Amino acid sequence: MKKQETLDILQKIQAGAISPEEALLKLRTEPFEDLGYAKLDHHRELRQGVPEVIYGAGKTPGQITGISSAMLEKGQRLILITRLAQDVAEAVKKSLPLQYHETARIGIIGNMPEPDGIGKIVVATGGTSDMPVAEEAALTAEALGNSVIRLYDVGVAGLHRLLSRLNDIMDAQVIIAIAGMEGALTSVIGGLVDCPVIGVPTSVGYGASFNGLAALLTMLNSCASGVSVVNIDNGFGAGYLASMINHQRRK
């Protein structure tokens, strides 16, 4: 249930169009919908401002189709499905108008919203191999109503590549810095800008990178202020958090 729908119910009570008992019944039947294999949290947008997102890994095409269809029936305009395998996406496409983004492993049903954030979100990567995580972050942020600038392959092995885009990073409202190997990009960017920086360690790297643990520890130990860190390969979490920051206004 959206905030506007709840407000409409309250206004109808005030106007005498419905009774408090009728309003209570409607509100009580809205919180979640039990599909057997999933309990859809239809109050997520009312509580948090963003509707529930489907985590696609481990779900069958039938489950994803059923969850998405139930969301559409409740009036959800855009559905975001993360970690969606291509073969599952192709199966879902037979029933629903799914757009599949292969690099990010993201499926989207509905039209992307117009950006309404305070400023721009920059998504920067250390290398090209970090792009799957970066695209997950960027598409998540765009689906949540943000303007995104992508700066890919600007890592510390050639720092002049990052410095050539200094205007973009200086103008950003939030920066998502994504890197594997030793993960130094987050500290470098954190030391240059006056906005929040979200570090995303990736599992890219040789043996001693320990599948992203080395980058995670580097980012957690950053000496740059204003840096926070999400889990290894968690592009979605970074994009979501960046959107929250970019939509913060005095309440």
* DSSP-derived pairing of the beta strands 32-34 and 54-55: unpaired
Give 127-167 pLDDT, tens digit per residue: 999 999 999 999 999 999 999 999 999 999 999 999 999 99
Give 93-130 pLDDT, tens digit per residue: 999 999 999 999 999 999 999 999 999 999 999 999 99
Task: Copy the structure tokens of residue 134.
Answer: 């970066």
For the domain bounded by 120-246, which CATH number is listed?
Answer: 3.40.50.1970
Give 174-224 pLDDT, tens digit per residue: 999 999 999 999 999 999 999 999 999 999 999 999 999 999 999 999 999
Instruction: Answer whether residue 26 shows pLDDT above 70.
Output: no
Please indicate, yes or no, whether the overall pTM of this predicted structure exceeds 0.75: yes
Q: How far is CA 24 from CA 10, 15, 31, 232, in A?
A: 10, 16, 12, 43
Phi, psi of 55, rounded to the nearest 5 degrees? -90, 110
Q: Where are the domain boundaries for CATH 3.40.50.1970 in the chain?
A: 120-246
